[in-house]
Every structure is written in C-alpha cells, then in structure tokens.
C-alpha cells in the first residue's frame, strides 16, 4: 500500500487555495493508501513569530482539516513539532545538502521579495520539508504547483543520501492536479496568506461576500465578449459551480453578457452552500477542543513509532551509533 503524505501550515486562516492544493487531495486519498497528514507548525515559524498566534493557529488548522473530512481513524494525523525526530533528521540531511541546491529554490527569493524576513529557517525550509517526507518513507506527496520544486529537492537529497550511505529512503513522487495546481487569489496572483489575497474557508457570510466582491476584474462592458480563461473571477468560479453552470457562464463570456457583479453574487451563494456541512462540523469541534488535542496526541504517538524506525537506521548508517 502506497504511503501518501502532505502537511499544511497554520500561519493564518486556511483558504480555498489550501483546500484544492493540498487538503482535498489528501482527504480523497484516505481510501487510496496509507495516509499521513500533519500540521507543519515548525515551518510556520519562518513567518509567525507570535507564540500565542501559532498555538491557536495550529489547533484551528487541525479543526479545519477534520471538519472538511479528514478522518483520524483512517489516517495518521499529528502536529509536526510533536515528533522531534524530524528536526534531528533535518540536521543530518542538511550536512549533505549542497548549498547550490537551496540557492536555486525560487520560493525563498519570492517570499523575501514579498516582505517575509529572510532567515536561515526560511532558506533551509526545503531541508526540513525533505525530512518530513523521508522520515515516513512517503511514496506520494500531493502538493501545489508552487511546491513542486521543493519536492524535487527532497528527491535529490534522498538520492544523494542513499548513494552515500546505502538504500534507506524511499524517493518520493509528487502528485499534482494540473487543473487545480494553482488557485488564483482575488488579485489574480497565486492565492496565498503571504499575499493577503485569499478567500477563507470558514469566514462568516458577510466577510465571504466582501472577499468575493473584491475579486479583481477588468472594465470590459457586460455586452462585450470576454476571455474566460484569463478572467480571475471565472477561474475561481469554475472550481465550485456545477459543470453545466460553468458551461453556461463560459458561453456568456464568449458571446457577451457576462456581468461580473452577478457572477460574484452567485459565487458567494455557491461557496456558502459548498462548505455548509463543514461549517457545522467545525462548530462542533470548536466546542470540544480537548477531543481535538487528544486526536493529535494519539496521531503523534503513531507517527513517532514510524519515524523512529527510519531514524534509528539513519543514525546507524551515518555513525551516530558506537
């Protein structure tokens, strides 16, 4: 059975980009393999330097994930920092990771350009991500298109380590749905908490409407033809509307008659209904947070049992056993 692994950062409210890029593929994978899903709080520390905010965000992310359909009984679900073996493995891997490999990663440069403070943690992010993946011998890693390069770094590190010390690590493969690889934000750029251009999953109806109505569109008159494929609004709309309705709206774009305002209001209703069941479940979990903490503790215990098997072998091979 294939091992499927991916994580989500608790650095802010989870949004529809997180949902389609990682969460939904992971939830759908529960019947397809041995699923490992975790909250990557150590990664979040590259941008969150408020302890109370990080702790709250971690618990919220866990509740969000469970509300959206992740079943702890059919997966291993935990918080990254509750398995300390990952930081030891990250250090060991860092001693073999070429500087040039990290210097070529575009994510670091992009984040610094967007105002994220440069740090060693941000620069070495791909090594910790590699440790996350390799520690559990993951076969498949569902990622957004923007994380594909980091997955390739993990593969390179695994191959280099295996060549140096003998076959230990499974070389992982990325899983990317090209139709949903990059969800656009309300400004047309990739949807990201870092860019402040998100549509959050569990916001109230008033806030949801405000977010949707802020989606950037052009000034083309209603009656004029428009290109749906380059329209930010349509590219978000088609993720949620029925195929039949998407075809109808696409026809309005092509032939003329697509009114951005009406489409936005329709999208608000569609989004509100789409996550209705999850909102109810989320409210129930909010009322029983100790249950959520217990789920995460049990998940961490389960994850550590897997992690220790790999790390013990790594320690022996690199000479940390004498």
Active site residues: 111, 190, 193
Burial category of 224 from C-beta neighbours within 10 Å (exposed 0-12, middle 13-18, buried 19 and up): exposed
- Could you give phi then psi for residue 287, rounded to 5 degrees? -85, -10
Task: Identify whether the C-beta of residue 62 lies closer than 8 Å to the C-beta of residue 277.
Answer: no
- For the chain, how far is it from start to end, CA to CA, in angstroms? 35
Of 12, 126, 122, 125, the C-alpha closest to 58 is 12
Residue with tokens 């594909």: 148
Of 19, 124, 135, the C-alpha closest to 85 is 135
User: Residue 255's CB: how many other CB atoms inside 10 A?
Assistant: 11
CA distances from 309 to 169, 241, 306 (A): 12, 45, 6
The radius of gyration computed from the CA coordinates of the chain, to the nearest angstrom, equals: 21
CA 200 to chain centre: 13
H-helix or E-strand containing 228?
Answer: none
Residue with tokens 């408020």: 50
Task: Identify whether the C-beta of residue 57 lies closer than 8 Å to the C-beta of residue 25.
Answer: no
Any idea of the CA torsion for 49, 50, 56, 57, to the nearest 10 degrees? Answer: -30
DSSP string, 121-178: HHHTHHHHHHHHHHHTT-SEEE--GGGHHHHHHHHHHHHHHHHHH-S-S---EEE--T
Beta-carbon-side half-sphere exposure of residue 138 (alpha carbons within 13 Å): 26
């Amino acid at each position: 059975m294939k091992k499927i692994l991916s994580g989500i950062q608790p650095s802010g409210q989870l949004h529809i980009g997180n949902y389609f890029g990682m969460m939904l593929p992971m939830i759908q994978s529960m019947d397809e393999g041995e699923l490992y899903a975790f909250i990557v709080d150590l990664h979040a520390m590259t941008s969150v330097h408020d302890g109370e905010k990080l702790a709250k965000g971690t618990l919220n992310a866990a509740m969000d994930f469970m509300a959206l359909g992740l079943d702890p009984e059919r997966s291993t679900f935990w918080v990254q920092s509750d398995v300390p073996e990952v930081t030891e493995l990250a250090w060991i891997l860092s001693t073999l990771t070429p500087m040039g490999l990290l210097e070529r990663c575009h994510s670091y440069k992009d984040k610094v350009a967007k105002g994220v403070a440069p740090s060693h943690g941000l620069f070495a992010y791909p090594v910790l991500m590699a440790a996350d993946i390799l520690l559990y011998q993951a076969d498949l890693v569902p990622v957004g298109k923007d994380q594909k390069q980091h997955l390739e770094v993990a593969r390179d590190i695994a191959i280099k380590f295996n060549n140096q010390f003998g076959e230990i690590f499974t070389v992982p493969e990325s899983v990317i749905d090209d139709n949903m690889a990059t969800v656009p934000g309300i400004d047309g750029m990739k949807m990201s908490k870092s860019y402040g251009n998100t549509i959050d999953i569990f916001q109230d109806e008033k806030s949801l409407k405000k977010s949707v109505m802020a989606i950037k569109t052009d000034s083309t008159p209603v009656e004029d033809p428009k290109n749906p494929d380059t329209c930010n609004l349509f590219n978000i709309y088609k993720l949620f509307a029925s195929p039949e309705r998407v075809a109808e709206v696409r026809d309005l774009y092509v032939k003329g008659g697509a009114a951005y305002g009406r489409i936005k209001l329709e999208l608000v209703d569609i989004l509100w209904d789409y996550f209705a069941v999850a909102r109810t479940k989320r409210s129930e979990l909010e009322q029983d947070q100790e249950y959520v903490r217990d789920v995460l503790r049990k998940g961490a215990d389960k994850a550590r049992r897997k992690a220790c098997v790999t790390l013990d072998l790594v320690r022996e091979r690199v000479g940390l056993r004498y």
